[in-house]
Amino acid sequence: MDAEIWRDVVGYEGLYEISNLGRLRSAPRQGTDGRILRLTPSPCGYKRIRLYRGGVGSAKKIHRLVLESFVGPCPPGMEGCHNNGKRDENVLSNLRWASRSDNCADAKMHGTAAIGERNGQAKLNRSQVEDIRQMRATGASYQAIANKFNVAIDTARLAAKGETWNS
């Protein structure tokens, strides 16, 4: 395991420190090492915390704090990426700045992309999509398919053609 290195959180110098292992603490004061702070998961699975400066709090994602403090500011058009696809592993060696398309490609590769049933707006499940493709292969119209599954014609067409649910 890597040795833990602490740096000031960018924008909160003297108040908070972040480590290369993704831990956060209040800045050391008067002979104390600082207190390790508890991180909370966001609904999406990212570790986060609310940092305070001058009585005003702001929610921050831990992976961004690690990258900003150890790598530098986020380049234009880039975002923080987890190399292994695990949103709660904020070790510096698991993080990088990358483009949105690179991040989306990573999510597909790691199986964490919000596609198919993992998409909160999905109208169909995998079994229904298989039924739709079978119905279409045997000549059913998109209108008939849409009526059976209570979806829009475009939804039926996209699922049947594999433009959505492309597995």
Q: Return the pLDDT at 52.
A: 94
Q: Return the pLDDT at 61.
A: 96
Asked whether 106 and 87 are in contact (CB, 8 A), the reply is no
List the one residue out of 90, 85, 87, 86 whose CA is nearest residue 109: 85
109 token code pair: 């590769």
Q: Which residue has the tokens 């190399």?
A: 83
H-assigned helices in the chain: 62-70, 100-110, 126-137, 142-149, 153-161
3-class state of residue 91 by DSSP: coil
Q: Return the pLDDT at 147.
A: 92
Q: Return the pLDDT at 27.
A: 87
* Domain ranges (residues) in the chain: 6-110, 116-161
Tell me which architecture the domain covering 6-110 has in CATH.
Alpha-Beta Complex (3.90)
CA distances from 145 to 31, 115, 121, 131 (A): 71, 21, 19, 9
List the one residue out of 40, 89, 41, 150 whose CA is nearest residue 80: 89
Q: Kindly report, residue by residue over 42-56, the tens digit of the pLDDT.
A: 988 899 999 999 889
Q: Kindly report, residue by residue over 93-109, the tens digit of the pLDDT.
A: 999 999 999 888 887 77
Residues lower than pLDDT 50 in the chain? none
113 token code pair: 């992309």
